Chain A
Amino acid sequence: MRVGVIERIKGPVVIASGIKDVQIGEVIEVGEERLIGEVVRVTSDNFTIQVYESTSGLRPGEKVYATGKRLVAELGPGLMSRIFDGIQRPLEEILRRTGPFIRRGVKLNALPRDKKWYFKPLVKKGDVVEGGSIIGIVPETRIIEHRVLVPPDIKGEIVKIEEGEFKVDETVAIVRDKRGREHEIKLMQEWPVRVPRPFKSRLPLTEPLITGQRVIDTFFPVAKGGAACIPGGFGTGKTVTLHKIAMWSDSEIVVYIGCGERGNEMCELLTEFPKLIDPRKKVPMIERSIMIANTSNMPVSAREASIYMGITIAEYYRDQGYHVTLIADSTSRWAEAVREISGRLEEMPVEEGFPAYLPDRLAEFYERAGRVVALGTPEREGSVTILAAVSPPGGDFNEPVTIHTLRFVGAMWALDTDLAYRRHFPAINWLRSFSQYAEPLEKWWVEKFPEFPNYRRRALRLLTVASEIEAIASVIGEGALPDDQRLILLTAEIIKEGFLRQVAMEGEDTFCKPEKQYLMLKMIMDFYDRAYILVRHRVPVDDIANLPEVFEMMRVKEDERGVEAVKEVYEKVIKALDNIARKYGIDLEGELRGWRKGE
């Protein structure tokens, strides 16, 4: 082993000398306690190590040991339903080993070495396989079948493969390449976290990630394989929204990175996931989840690594043919870790002290999202969707991390402090948010509900107009507005309270099916069309606003009968408006027909 010596200690950054051939990215064990670190800078006479644990008490003169390895993720069965720190140490094991407080210098394998898995081959002796090919399966949890892949750089003929129980580091198959060299294939492989895993080709993004949150699915959707960010000041509900997506979205696998955030939030996931039952697969959510936790009080440099650790694991399951959602909360804390290390390295800072390479790092990360055709046989597709929280200082989006993130994502869910103050959650501002996926995903909706794009566009337009009218109303008072404008305000209120606001953590409204989303939107917009005709015929808007059905529209989302209840309220609303029409002698249906023709 190559051994060097510590020269200087400066927070998480240690300068050492004595090993000539260290490489950038090489993992170094530092000091008597052998703390884990990574080389970030090399000069002719010394090298700089970013240490992933507290360096308190370390002294110059202590030894450092070069491992010759890069920072890698261990990939194999045994990742699912577990929680790791930023450099993939299993936190539950650490708890058993060192008690409730994390001590440093603990070395543990990510994948348990003593556990045996039942391996069932899918190929046989003589078959030709290449990098990425599936050679067999292991039941990892009740719903996740772990597909054992040939590592990307190996190609050749299977000369031996066995069914049976294996530990992760035991050989299950042997592949002989063209030159006659034999490669052992194990259940486990390693991959350097900072390098994207290879795939065959990218596919267009055509399928939505159904989150069950109306404001997202209907108005600002994200495609499977896409990337979305959710920026917002504190208290605007970034984490709650992401938790809800982690729990209820239709992803097959969720990798959740708690990056520089609260310990209690990770604990909440750990408590909730085993209890929540996946409505589609009927097993606890934990069986499809992997968590990476580097909370705000854990060492900063491991926080920097945690993002790469998470995305590498996500890519590995993508390569097996799964649709994976990667949630990173929060990328701002990751960027701050990058900044802190950059500062300790005395690099020249640019905006707000961030290094000039921040946008590159962000781009590299977001470009690892995608829907792809995986390498090897049989042909299969998988995807990684990135959903990332951004925590702009002061809630002001005009800051480096938000600005650069917006360049690389396809959707933004902008959180709004005012909405949060009113307890309107998710506090996604419908005027500032955007989704470039809305258009390509329209086809998916049209196949099910041909009228959907029309309703969606009109509702968005109505909300925009309503906000302009609100600005006027705040000067002259609502009472001074003409009735048609007051109707727009009333409808906007119904959309906000009855459709956009979705706070439930349990019961019917936690997850709203696409069908119900569509019917609710249709109900409100059809109400508006009819009410508009009435108002044009001089029906006072108060006659409409005071209908009990108006309040029913706001409540129906929580009705346990779901779609049936929406249909029922729909009928009642139409009937109530028909009654008013009759009273005033207005031919509502006739006008509507004429109106639709004219549109």
Chain B
Amino acid sequence: MNRYIKAEFELFKRQKGNLIIGGCVLFVFIMLLLLSGVGGSGYCAYITIVGYMAYLFFNIAFYLSPASYWQNRKKVVVTTEQLVLTLGESKRTYVKNKLFFYVVQYLVMVALIAVMQIPAALIAGETYSVWGFFLEVEVLTAIVFLSFFVMFVIPANAYLLAIPGWCGFCGGFVGGYFSVIADLPKEEAFEGFLWKALFGIVVGVLSIAYRYIRTIIEERGGLWRKEIATGEE
């Protein structure tokens, strides 16, 4: 494993408060998933939002580092980005690792939804619900990738962390809500899910590309790189 990923993960592990809250919300999410077979499609869409809350708390733990200092009698919590850039990590590596963590978290959530459909089906006395799985993943995808969009476009600032979270939450909630109230035949609804998830992914990928290119430009010191004048060398 990359040395910096290990180091950042070590910092992540030390954000105990946020990890405990995230873990508790995740536990609630898992419990709710167990009942998704009984609850129907509306229930499925809404509980995914609880899953997103867990995702958000884990991201706060990733965004804020365990380092802090006092300034004018006010405690300043240092962001992970500030900390690692003061240490021996480059911005490009940090952005790459951040993306890696986001994607891993997202895939873990998708895997969790897929696996939890099995006990959920057993509890409901039905077969595995592909429908429920798609619905939940669609809502999660819309929320997560819309959060990416705002998170990457807004400059890094601890106080602005709430904004992407809120926007992603609203975007995903609205997407999930319309999935439920549309009352379409399943084939059409599936197609709708796919389009919405695809929209979320495209927006997410574009914002990731934007952030990555911006980081490279920042590292180069401008769009067009001037060669260093070596003089006598």
A binds B: no
